[in-house]
Structure 1
């Protein structure tokens, strides 16, 4: 098992928590980001700046039993289909039973924005988000082990 982080939009606190948790559990931590990010990680993959390039690389290195940290619901769906786990930086563990609903919700919101509507962006990150991410990452590691 390894933990792979979609590091293009991952908060630095989440990266730090994941690094410490992987060290504690003896897991490899992989990060994938485009060349615009300066990420220090033993296993870091730098990709180009094209759309979805990081997601494609993450899919290429993800195996069944791995865990991917991402806020991209589409990537989470593909990861789950490979038998890997997926968790968001806020600690939401993605489930195969509910991912279709999330993807449908994403499409509805995108359609609303295309017609000039507005949707809420993410809330400012709080300490509680870090605590929840750590707790749920540990839970997912235990479930996947």
Structure 2
């Protein structure tokens, strides 16, 4: 059975994801650390100790082929792709084998800049258009991944 797993630490689309999953009767698992405890009636929440990648590794250990993962973390996305999950970011970008290497390289370049004392411009304020695009892409993906009753 399809499950949607949310890397909820700092995720701006938790409520939108839950609304769509509720309407399509798809179970949701929210994973977060003790600094970002997120409880919702429509989902099971698992809370992990705050620490380097504790939520990421817990999520990877639970994801199954065909599940959908919502995350902003390229490293986590890469691990979930290796487990044959479908992975989206908060803007509706689907991480794939075709784009993950470039994204990981960009992350590495940004970390190099930070270590050199250069601070790349942070993300702009989230817009309603980004929320709408995520909802459109996510709902289409869930519908595609729901096994048909034959």
* Band of TM-score, shorter chain: over 0.9
CA distance in 1 between counterparts of 2:82 and 2:37 reads 30
Task: List aligned pairs for 1:113-132, cutoff 5 A.
Answer: 113-132=114-133
Residue 142 of structure 1 and its aligned partner are, at CA, apart by: 3.0
CA distance in 2 between counterparts of 1:88 and 1:49 reads 22
Residue 70 of structure 1 and its aligned partner are, at CA, apart by: 0.3
Which residue pairs with 2:45 in the alignment? Answer: 44
Which residue pairs with 2:104 in the alignment? Answer: 103
Worse-superposed segment, 77-86 or 31-40: 31-40
Unaligned runs of 5+ in 2: none
Residue 143 of structure 1 and its aligned partner are, at CA, apart by: 3.3
Task: List aligned pairs for 1:44-83, cutoff 5 A.
Answer: 44-83=45-84
Change (3 A) 1:96 1:144: farther
Question: Does residue 133 of the first structure (1) align with residue 141 of the second (2)?
Answer: no
Residue 68 of structure 1 and its aligned partner are, at CA, apart by: 0.6
Residues 5-24 of structure 1 show CA distances to partners (whole Å, capped at 9, x for unaligned) of: 1011112xx11111111011
Which residue pairs with 1:142 in the alignment? Answer: 143
Which residue pairs with 1:7 in the alignment? Answer: 8
CA distance in 1 between counterparts of 2:94 and 2:77 reads 10
Q: Give the secondary structure class of the aligned counterpart of 1:31.
A: strand
Which residue pairs with 1:22 in the alignment? Answer: 21
Q: Give the secondary structure class of the aligned counterpart of 2:35.
A: coil
Unaligned runs of 5+ in 1: none
RMSD, matched Cα: 1.1
